[in-house]
Amino acid sequence: MMLMTNKMVRRAFAALMYLLMSSLAKVEAMLRRRRQRQSENDNNDGYCLSWRLGVEANNVRSWKTVPLECYNHVQQYMTGGQYLQDMNLIVNQIIAYAFQITLSPDSMDAWILDVDDTCISNLSYYQGHRFGCDPFDSAKFKAWIMKGMCPANPAVLQLFKTLRERGFKVFLLTGRDQATLGKITTDNLHNQGFIGYERLILRTAEYKGQSAVRYKSAIRKEIEGQGYRIWGNVGDQWSDLQGECLGTRTFKLPNPMYFIS
């Protein structure tokens, strides 16, 4: 009887050890997979941080979509607070510069602001399209614009009000089509507090098919031809800030969601 009991105890102990070792092996495998995923995430985040820096420095150009592996990175950047912090810092620099300028009594000191993702935001639209990982769909984007629901970028709205209070003539320059989007764009801007600008300039048939650089250069040249002095030019795309008649200083706002050439 004692022998039977000892055998049973040994078997039970062996079974228990087997279960324990199996459990430890499963835990170790789970931890190994977790470490691997974390390493992959760290590598992706490092790459995506470098990619975003390249975009903002205009070293990465003519890209069509955000890399799929950067979806989480761009999502976190745009919605986690860093984007708003970056916007506030840049706008504070712009305002500091604006206060250094001595305005002339002829009321011809001007400033240019882009519209989309400068004055007003399309972040809600891009949240539904994986923050730029999905290919751009012009019909869907136009349908979004036609809702007239783009909220103001708070920092840029404050900049707009500050520039006006200082006495600058503020021109809003956009690539939106005047014939189809003129009224909704005007209403959207007014509803968001952009009231009292010198002129809202949209793309007319004359400039249809032209690149953003060529179109906006022509408009700025026209503004300067009317006698205005462009002290500042603000936009979220490098194409807002390239070409001719750029103004005394240009300021690039962050936007890792899309690229306009």
pLDDT tens for residues 176-199?
999 999 999 999 999 999 999 999
Q: How confident is the model at residue 39 (pLDDT cuts 50, 70, 90)?
A: very low
Domains: count for the chain: 2
Is 246 a domain residue? Answer: yes
Is 55 a domain residue? Answer: no
Q: Do 37 and 128 sit in the same domain of this protein?
A: no
CA distances from 35 to 47, 176, 178, 191 (A): 18, 47, 53, 49
Q: How confident is the model at residue 37 (pLDDT cuts 50, 70, 90)?
A: low
Identify the DSSP state of 240: G
Is 52 a domain residue? Answer: no
Q: Do 208 and 169 sit in the same domain of this protein?
A: yes
Q: Do 23 and 84 sit in the same domain of this protein?
A: no
pLDDT (tens digit, 9 = 90+) per residue, 97-148? 999 999 999 999 999 999 999 999 999 999 999 999 999 999 999 999 999 9
Instruction: Give strand pairing partners of 152.
Output: 120
Q: Do 32 and 159 sit in the same domain of this protein?
A: no
Is 261 a domain residue? Answer: no
> pTM for the full model?
0.84
Q: Do 206 and 77 sit in the same domain of this protein?
A: yes
- Calculate mean pLDDT across residues 31-41: 54
Q: Do 230 and 187 sit in the same domain of this protein?
A: yes
For residue 256, give the nearest of 124, 40, 67 by alpha carbon: 67
- Count how many Cα atoms sit within 13 Å of the Cα of residue 162 in the half-sphere of its side chain: 16
CATH number assigned to the domain comprising residue 246: 3.40.50.1000
Question: CA-CA distance, 132 to 126, in Å (whole number)?
Answer: 6
pLDDT of residue 234: 98
pLDDT of residue 19: 74
- Calculate mean pLDDT across residues 230-234: 98
Q: Do 139 and 13 sit in the same domain of this protein?
A: no
Is 53 a domain residue? Answer: no
Question: CA-CA distance, 3 to 123, in Å (whole number)?
Answer: 76
Is 56 a domain residue? Answer: no
Q: Do 184 and 139 sit in the same domain of this protein?
A: yes
Q: Do 33 and 79 sit in the same domain of this protein?
A: no
Is 29 a domain residue? Answer: yes
Q: Do 114 and 171 sit in the same domain of this protein?
A: yes
Q: Do 102 and 230 sit in the same domain of this protein?
A: yes
For residue 22, the enclosing domain spans 1-46
pLDDT (tens digit, 9 = 90+) per residue, 53-83? 999 999 999 999 999 999 999 999 999 999 9
Q: Do 5 and 112 sit in the same domain of this protein?
A: no
pLDDT (tens digit, 9 = 90+) per residue, 144-180? 999 999 999 999 999 999 999 999 999 999 999 999 9
Is 174 a domain residue? Answer: yes
